[in-house]
Amino acid sequence: MKKVLVMCTGNSCRSIIGEALINAKLDGVEAYSCGVAPSGRVNPNAKKVLELNGIWDEKYYSKHLDELIDIEFDLVVTVCDHAHETCPMFPRPVPKIHVGFEDPDGKEFEAFEATYKEIEEVLLPKVTAALKDK
């Protein structure tokens, strides 16, 4: 089982959606998410879009990298510029890719639906390709 970490700033929208999509759609891949400055909550609209698509799980929550630092990841994905610029060092070398998405936080629900679709269409193929190179 390959392990992927999806990082953003607040770990309330984009990275949670990315984690859920990877877990639901990519066989042989286990995803986690975290924030460089976690908000401590999952955005209600992010949860709603995952529920409507049948992939919400109560195990998803906003957390800091410190909770996951001991996991040996096969790939780290940053989904916002701030996380990309501040991506910390890991105990062992790990491949990283950056695929930025606009933050839907504070916007109408339609923005979360668009972000979900964009992450599914853009991020999943890039994660698959990056893991094939491993």
34 is catalytic: no
Bridge partners, 33 (sequence order)? 6
80 is catalytic: yes
Nearest to 105 by CA among 47, 53, 20: 47
The tokens for 44 are 């209600």
Residues 24, 26, 68, 87: which is the catalytic one? 87
DSSP annotation string for 25-59: H-TTEEEEEEESS--SS--HHHHHHHHHTT---TT
Residues 4, 5, 7, 8: which is the catalytic one? 8
- 45-71 in b/e form (b: 16+ CB < 10 A) is bbbebbeebebbeeebebbebeebeee
CB 94 within 8 A of CB 74: yes
13 is catalytic: no
Q: Which active-site residues does the annotation give?
A: 8, 80, 87
